[in-house]
Structure 1
């Protein structure tokens, strides 16, 4: 009986000593705080979408053609815009000048004069009969007036396309073109009946 009590007492003493030693070690060696936090490289912060960007691009192109393309950083489109607008304006001015020539000559003949430019040859000598008749002057006025109106419509259309292009480009720049999201056609031959299968494959990687 005495031996059991002695053995039990020694066991309890050793257990208490072990617990006290562990508590002391925990208090003397606290856990070290990491110097830096490493962020997982998989997480990527994407560029925020500006819903007003298309409206701004269209507004800039309306104020000054090509300015919306510059806002979208599509600088190579600016010379195309000005070349197209310049061509339309050139043909409008040219047709307008020709229309005024024939109109002035026709008005001069209606007033009874025979000294318009079509009564003169290449050397400036006055002719007895004009190079262009009155009916020819009327037809020329109709022709150049129609060409002038078409040139004006084309120029206005190019100006409108300049605005639309800037707006659409700003929309497309905000679309998701991540490599993890792809849509590609696929072509596969069926080995059983030697037929071909054509379709589209949509891949989305998380």
Structure 2
């Protein structure tokens, strides 16, 4: 027992001597240092408010977030994508109102636009009901698709603003290379070498 304690104490003493014997190489003091000229500190590309600004601009006016991100070619695509459901919403809504008015007039025994002066109707009342139902569904789908496109263009502007902040310098590259093993020429083995430069 006494021998084990002595061995432990001697071992700790040897290791502690080597631990405290090292000198810190980062402890450097600089005295009387003068710098001639200007020091340029490069600012980073990262702007944490850029994605929220792009999303806010897109929410106010569709396509404005894409213009804020300097992706000018995307703005006409956003406007066209929002114009199509708006156009179909207006057409379906006006036709729905026409058929709805004709249905109400027909139910009250009055003449509607589908009834001639002789009292002959070109559209039955069941057709008016079916047309109203179909036009209402088309109108609602146009509205839903317009809202989805509106939300997607906000998300696209925000994500694009995030992705624009990544460093895509040519010095940061991934260059795989396949090298054949010259020693085992008869039974070739293929390896992968990855080189990266900063």
Residue in structure 2 matched with residue 88 of structure 1 by the alignment: 85
Looking at structure 1, the residues matched to 120 and 43 of structure 2 have their Cα atoms a distance apart, in angstroms, of: 79
Task: Give the match's secondary structure for 1:166.
Answer: helix
Are 2:156 and 1:165 aligned?
Answer: yes
1:63-102 matched pairs, under 5 angstroms:
63-102=60-99
Structure 1 residues 203 and 95: CA distance shift in structure 2, 3 A: farther
- Please state whether the residue corresponding to 2:174 is helix, strand or coil: strand
**Residue number in structure 1 paired with 2:112:** 116
Asked if residue 132 in structure 1 is aligned to residue 129 in structure 2, the reply is no
Q: Distance in 2 between matches of 1:69 and 1:110?
A: 51
TM-score (norm 1): 0.68
Q: Is the 8 A contact 1:103 1:141 kept in 2?
A: yes
Q: 1:131 to 1:46 in 2, by over 3 A?
A: same
Q: Which runs of 5+ in 1 are unaligned?
A: 1-35, 121-125
Q: 1:161 to 1:202 in 2, by over 3 A?
A: farther
Number of matched pairs:
160
Q: CA 1:187–1:106 in 2, change beyond 3 Å: closer, same or farther? A: farther
Q: Which residue of 2 aligns with 1:33?
A: none
Does the residue aligned with 1:161 lie in a helix, a strand or coil?
A: helix
TM-score (norm 2): 0.70
1:127 shift after superposition:
4.7
Structure (1 or 2) with the larger CA radius of gyration: 1
Structure 2 unmatched runs, 5+: 1-35
> Could you tell me how far apart the structure 1 residues matched to 2:60 and 2:73 are?
19
Q: 1:147 pairs with 138, 151, 166, which one?
A: 138
Q: Alpha-carbon deviations, 1:130-178, whole Å to 9, x = none? A: 1110000000000000000000001011110110111011001001111
138-147 vs 183-192, greater mean Cα deviation:
183-192
Distance verdict in 2 for CA 1:98–1:188, change over 3 Å: farther
Seen in structure 2, the aligned counterparts of structure 1 residues 89 and 184 have a Cα distance that, compared at 3 Å, is farther
